[in-house]
Amino acid sequence: MNLSIYFFIITTFLISTASSIWFYKKKENKWSALFLAFCINVILLCGATIVYSKVFHVKGTGGLFASLGILIFAFFIPVITCINHYTLALWKRKANY
C-alpha cells in the first residue's frame, strides 16, 4: 500500500506540473498557472485522502512519513505547490532567453 501512496503523490506532481506549464504557455501569467496547480493538488490529494481512508481503510503509512498517518496527502499539497512555483520560475526564465 505504501508504494501506491507514493506513486499517487508523484502522479499528482506530474499532472499539476504539466497543467501549470501548459496554462502558463497559454496565458503568460505565472500566478494563475500556480493557482491552477494548487487547485489540482487540492482536488486530487484531498480526494485521495477520502478514498484511501474510506475505501481502502488505510490509517497510516510506514517508513519516513509514518507519523503523518493518512494526512500524508494533505502534507504534500504545499510541498508540491512550492515545487511547481520553482518549476514555473525556471520555465519563465528559460522562456526569456
Half-sphere exposure of residue 63, counting CA atoms within 13 Å on the CB side? 8
What pLDDT score does 97 carry?
A: 73
Quote the percentage of the chain above a pLDDT of 90.
56
Residue 62 DSSP symbol: -
pTM over 0.75: yes
Give the whole-angstrom CA distance, residue 5 versus residue 56: 11
pLDDT of 55 higher than 90: no
* H or E segment and range at residue 48: helix 30-54
Return the pLDDT at 58: 66
Cα–Cα–Cα angle for 15, 20, 21, rounded to 5 degrees: 105
Query: What pLDDT, on a 0 to 100 scale, did the predictor assign at position 96?
Result: 77
- Is residue 28 over pLDDT 60? yes
* 32's grid cell: 494563475
Quick one: pLDDT at residue 3?
83
C-alpha dihedral sign at 62, 66, 70, 72: negative
